[in-house]
Structure 1
Amino acid sequence: MRMDEMSFKRNRELVRLIDRFAEHDGTHETLIPALRLIRASRISEPVYSVYEPSLCIVAQGSKVVMLGKESFQYDPDSYLTASVHLPIAGQIIVASREAPYLSLQLQFDMTQILEVIQASEHTGRSKRESGRGLVVSRMNDTLHDAVLRLVKMLEIPQDIPVMAPYVIREIIYRVLQNDQNAALKTFALIGSHAQRIAKVIERLNRDFALPLRIDELAEEARMSASSLYDYFKEVTGMSPIQYQKQIRLQEARRLLLTETSEAAEAAFQVGYESPSHFSREYARMFGLPPVRDIRRLRATLLPSGGTS
């Protein structure tokens, strides 16, 4: 049997499994805590969220992810890795009821990554101390096979507690073997520039409503302010202040959509002092002022269950 035929069979099996365990549109948690399955029966508008360190694989359909001004497209022939928390806009661009978009997300634990690095021969530092925190790579047979074995465990749940940690470890190893994912390695290495930037990103995600003080962040990262700015932009594709703005606006949108907050109240909760300034930046990011945007979202996204 030719390798391309084997890959096709492997992918058809992955489609079958995701279709079985994600019966309706939306994001589905599984018995494997780090694994989520996603299904969508139609093309989506951009959905704003924060990607966690993870591996994302599409079994059927296609998706585009926007990070700052960059776009990353992936499909069954490729996969996406996120090395750090990143505010993105994701849009499903190929999907239908007959052939729904089917994908999975496997969240990474940096401790697991560090253990794999230490156990393998590839313990040396990468020549590059950092790199973009989002990468699309070409799918390969060894990674595809390991991912399929992990998802198949959903059919034999008694195997999950014993076997899943080992297969996840193998998946991490396969991802790290790809030179494009050198950044993922550096984010796990204590003391690397990338790992320090990851700590800054963690703080920005936690304290996004507080005033941003570059000098304070730089001191915490043990870098100069200019080095922090340069490395941060290399990893995220945006400046620290642009990153904070995206996190603030995404959280404000969530508050407006899921709670009874007024626009001005949401603005203050996420750190804006001026409601009019908040409204202008909100419209610039989402295309409409807060009230009109939330009215539209409630009329379109909520009845269909949304997509992730």
Structure 2
Amino acid sequence: MKKLLNSFILLFLLWGFGAYSFAQSFTAEVGTLFLSDKPTEQFGNLKILTGVIKKGDKIEIYAETGRKFTATITKIKGDSDDEVKLLKAGEYGFFDLTFTEDPGTGKDYLRAGYKAYSLGYKPNIASIKADAEAKVTASVNFKSTLDGKPFRGKVTYKGASYWRKGVKNLLEKPYLQLQFRAVDEPDDRNLTIQIFYPKESVAKYTAKDMEVNFSGTADGNTTNTEMYGFVNGKGNTDFSLEITKWQKISSKKAIISGKISGELKEVKLLGTPKLKHRFSDGIFENVEVEVFNEVYDLKVK
């Protein structure tokens, strides 16, 4: 009887420990993060995907590269901005996190979209990488061949705009601006194109109609920052852009598609530019353009 009782107690303890461990497991997705005065202390939001997250829990956040960030939750606030002890699957809240090391370093620094797990969980890194690549691919709206190699980009925030009457004290004439940022790390280059007096229809433009800037670093090393392009329609180049679709959605929005190709020369303050980049078969599709109908004044925005 004593042996049976001991077995029952052991089984109960094991079951209880297992239930406790299961209750402690969770997954979440990182939202916007904000730095404090200390690099290892951040606060931001998390969306709870599965399980329960509690104050005091240790979490592990994984980058798509497999890099792991470990932190302790020191405070949780719910939707009502009241401090709470825990949040459950489907809920969203603000968290104060203390990390074991500075999560803001490296190319795979901590940022929105990363997945968070309970301490000790072993995620499928291959799956994380595949999910990350799927998100990147879905975000791409510009593809080209750059110097014989694939180049992918997406429109930056507010990167597609049309000012019908220009911008006060900056560029006081109608122009369309498109800005695409490289999506394949460590490449952080931006391609910015401004078309002067654009037609709100299908049209072709050459260098005399545009200003183009292609700058940043291909390898992520800021000491290798480069700049190519030309200003004020004065490019001695075959660079061209064709709008193949201009769909007016409203007085404040249009959807456009087009083609880009041609050569961009190195920008130098002194000496003759020798280096060149060539875009071939560039295509952008269904880019949403914000339209400003009056003179835009940056000082009152």
**What TM-score results when the alignment is normalised by the length of structure 2?**
0.26
Higher strand share: 2
Structure having the higher helix fraction is 1
Q: Normalised by the size of structure 1, how large is the TM-score?
A: 0.26
Question: Whose Rg is larger?
Answer: 2
